[in-house]
Amino acid sequence: KMKTDMNFKALLTLIIAIIIFGCSPEKSQNENFTSSLLQFDQQIESIISNMTLEEKVNMLHGKTMFTSAGVERLGIADMKYADGPFGIREELQAHGWMPLGWTKDSATFFPTGSALAATWSPELAYEYGKGMAREARIRGKDMILGPAINIQRIPTGGRTYEYLSEDPLLSSQLSVGYTKGAQDNGAAVCLKHYALNNQENNRGTVDVIVGERAMREIYLPPFKAAVREADAYGVMAAYNKVNGWWCAENNNLLNEILRKEWGFAGMVISDWGGTHSTVESVEHGLNVEMPDSKYLGQALLDSLNAGVVSEKVIDLRVREILRVRLAIKPVPEEEANQVMTSQPEQQRIAYNVAAKSIVLLKNNGILPIDLSRKPTIAVIGDNAVRPMATGGVGAGVKALYEVSPLEGLRNKIGDKAKIVYAQGYVPVVLDYARMFGGKSDEEIAKEDAERERQNKKLNEEAIELAAKADIVLFMGGDNRAVETEGSDRKDIFLPSGQDELIQKLAKANPNIVTVLVSGAPNDLNEVNPLSKALVLSWFNGSEGGNALADVLVGNISPSGRLPFTLPVKLEDSPAYALGNYPQGQKKGDVFVGLVEETNKEITGENKGSDMNDPDKAYYSEEMLVGYRWFDTRNIEVMYPFGYGLTYTTFEYSALNTDAEKYESKDVISLSFSLMNTGDMASDEVVQAYVHRVNPSVEWPEKELKAFSRVNVQPGEEKTVTLEIPVEKLRYWDEINHDWKDDLCDIELQVGSSANDILLKKQVALGD
Ligand code: BGC
């Protein structure tokens, strides 16, 4: 009986899909994706036919800070949203940002986006999404405001730590994992921030001028993948504009691409305060204005009454919301918030992610720490004790607990070593008064002088401790006040004089292991040569300190990989090198006709092409984002994309493919042998890149097209198979506005990072 039911449902869904999409020219692009949300449409029609116009409009804007209205009279519950993306946010005032001080809303702090990405594991991303959903449900929430999946375009981007990667494939696979994990466990996701929210400075005014090809090949894939491969129910429109139009009223992004082309059937909400119009927003694809009702409240009713907006459009927007509402069962009031939000299953997930995210960048043999002679370990640095669940602008997590690196070491080492600690430097802390001009120059100068004095004192204490220790664990990096929503970093140097401190420490004791607790790239020119080992350990969640200690003492092998390139210096990175960022400082880079081309299509209010307009971000590096830029332009990097060491060694051999020539519908299956030649079990993240040998259009030097995390025991040899559908090698043809094959010879490059290619094989593409 169940089978018949399912078939009937599937048939019904298909019929509805045909009705909705059947006449659209994008039909062929939808053929292999039909959202499960369409199954509710019949039921929804009868709900809508019973609703008044006021009830409909009432659903299209915020009711409180984190809810939007249902229809009580018809038994339709309100939608309850929860930030997102790396832990369920504590309960806030209905109409403000102040916490309510509940006692049961302490959540699990999950490692932030770049840490998750460093696992290179869609399976762990699934677990992560599942963990987020379970805690959302405990709190009675319907939709998680996450995952945050914009491409890390600039190393200084304020939300780099929240976002996943500079690479679209890695970002896509993790977005799919997170989305499935969350939605399989009863909470909808809200993919954010759609689209091209790649910087925080001017995020509320900036107009991203981007070419179609870069948009399709680099920036949109994570969103598309989460929609089509994981049936994501929600999307958040970003604050910025794209090619002249605010994201919350961007017809091209919302109606044309997201809905018509990709087949998205769910709801779009604006970022908080990111709605700018009534008629355009609702007609161009926005469902809910959050958190207010300035544009989609009375103003919308007035527009309807004046005949400027039709009720049909309103019905469409209401239907899209109701689909999600019917797919996600509301948590009954009396069942929500009965237990503490953070639960052991989720804490375990947080540990597992953290343990596989830690990246070992350098090791001269000092790691794992030898505890056999009960060493004295000097732990130095504010980041050894600083909580990272909060501390910046934007969503933080009221964490039930957070194991700091120092606590983690104490937990894991016990009395096997003598651990001493010094703060070492004065940390940057969030100072709203300073940020918003609430302090005079005099006050600031006085504060800075005092800071300087404090810093000197802390440096001296640390040096004294270091001199007497066997090994120094320097725990520096950024913190949440340094990397923060709402503003980008000015540079990527280690804050608080850490470079100077480490120079002094190295003079006192050369056995330095540096651990960077950062969510984004830092300049490592000073720190790298002075460190015998270098570890990147992220804003790594409630269990971050335990995971780090397990790696440092060798209970587990490190196995995280860089999800972004660490440049030698900031100015080498693409948007900086071309003068595209910061805005208003163009160095004469030519957008090779693209500016004119793109500007032709700009129909929003921000027309024209002033290259030095601070409110326009030109993406003239096009597809050359991250390693694609460094590789293609032959620019040396500090550590490449995909890089990370383990405590063992691996040998790659015998790369083979299942054919020598592939047609456009084929899947390239490549296999090779991976042997653990060291003496410790470890995961290895294997990566397959594609280089085009004789292409007909321009391409980056190579692109990641498949990867896998493989566990190999010492002495064990495994055959690894990776698959690359030829379809995924297409480019976006800006003339015909469609995907197109470039059937040329390609070189498959297999290795352990973008710069460590160990095996190569050429195959042909052609029909
Ligand atoms: C952020 C979103 C967040 C929202 C609600 C905005 O400022 O950009 O990511 O979900 O606030 O807290």
pLDDT tens for residues 273-294? Answer: 999 999 999 999 999 999 999 9
Q: Is 476 in the pocket of ligand 1 (CB under 6 A)?
A: no
Q: Is 232 in the pocket of ligand 1 (CB under 6 A)?
A: no
**Residue 572 burial (CB count, 10 A):** 18
Q: What is the number of alpha carbons within 13 Å of residue 146 lying toward its C-beta?
A: 34
Q: Ligand 1 centroid vs 274 CA: distance in angstroms?
A: 10
Q: Which atom of ligand 1 is nearest to the CA of 193?
A: 9
Q: Which residues pair with 399 in a beta bridge?
A: 107
Predicted local distance difference test score (pLDDT) of residue 584: 66
First to last CA, the chain: 45
166-195 in b/e form (b: 16+ CB < 10 A) is: bbbbbbbbbbbbbbbbbbebbbbbbbbbbb
Residues 365 and 359: beta-carbon distance below 8 Å: no
CA of 575: how far to CAs of 557, 586, 587, in Å?
Answer: 35, 10, 11
User: Is residue 41 over pLDDT 60?
Assistant: yes
pLDDT band at 610 (very low <50, low <70, confident <90, very high): low
User: Is residue 605 over pLDDT 80?
Assistant: no
Structure tokens at 760: 């190569």
Q: Which residues are catalytic?
A: 271
Quote the CA–CA distance of 279 and 295 in Å, as a whole number.
9
- Would you say how long the chain is, in residues? 767
Q: Is 688 in the pocket of ligand 1 (CB under 6 A)?
A: no
Q: Ligand 1 centroid vs 66 CA: distance in angstroms?
A: 10
pLDDT band at 21 (very low <50, low <70, confident <90, very high): very low
pLDDT band at 583 (very low <50, low <70, confident <90, very high): confident
Residues 371 and 417: beta-carbon distance below 8 Å: yes
Q: Which atom of ligand 1 is nearest to the CA of 291?
A: 5
Q: Ligand 1 centroid vs 293 CA: distance in angstroms?
A: 17
**Mean pLDDT for the chain overall:** 93
Predicted local distance difference test score (pLDDT) of residue 760: 98
* Best mutation site among 145, 196, 239 for ligand 1 pocket (most ligand atoms within 8 Å of CB): 145
Predicted local distance difference test score (pLDDT) of residue 614: 79
Report the candidate in 343, 388, 368 with the shortest Cα–Cα distance to residue 541: 388
Predicted local distance difference test score (pLDDT) of residue 611: 65
User: Is residue 627 over pLDDT 80?
Assistant: yes
Q: Is 271 in the pocket of ligand 1 (CB under 6 A)?
A: yes
User: Is residue 613 over pLDDT 60?
Assistant: yes
User: Is residue 243 over pLDDT 60?
Assistant: yes
State pLDDT tens for residues 628-668: 999 999 999 999 999 999 999 999 999 999 999 999 999 99
Residues 491 and 570: beta-carbon distance below 8 Å: yes
Quote the CA–CA distance of 124 and 135 in Å, as a whole number.
17
Q: Ligand 1 centroid vs 127 CA: distance in angstroms?
A: 23
The phi, psi pair for 573, rounded to 5°, reads -75, 150
Q: Is 322 in the pocket of ligand 1 (CB under 6 A)?
A: no
More confident residue, 2 or 371: 371
Strands (DSSP E) found in 580-702? 616-618, 637-639, 650-657, 661-662, 667-676, 682-692
Strand, helix or coil for residue 181: helix
Burial of 700 (0-12, 13-18, 19+ CB in 10 A): buried
Count of helices and strands (H, E) across the chain? 23, 29
Structure tokens at 664: 């456009």
CA of 379: how far to CAs of 428, 467, 475, 481, 614, in Å?
Answer: 19, 12, 7, 22, 44
> CB under 8 Å, gap of 24 or more: what pairs does 24-29 form?
24/260, 26/260, 26/261, 29/261, 29/262
Q: Which residues pair with 708 in a beta bridge?
A: 686
Q: What is the number of alpha carbons within 13 Å of residue 148 lying toward its C-beta?
A: 26
Q: Which residues pair with 359 in a beta bridge?
A: 536
User: Is residue 600 over pLDDT 60?
Assistant: no
Quote the CA–CA distance of 681 and 556 in Å, as a whole number.
8
Quote the CA–CA distance of 670 and 59 in Å, as a whole number.
50
CA of 24: how far to CAs of 31, 102, 563, 757, in Å?
Answer: 12, 50, 38, 44
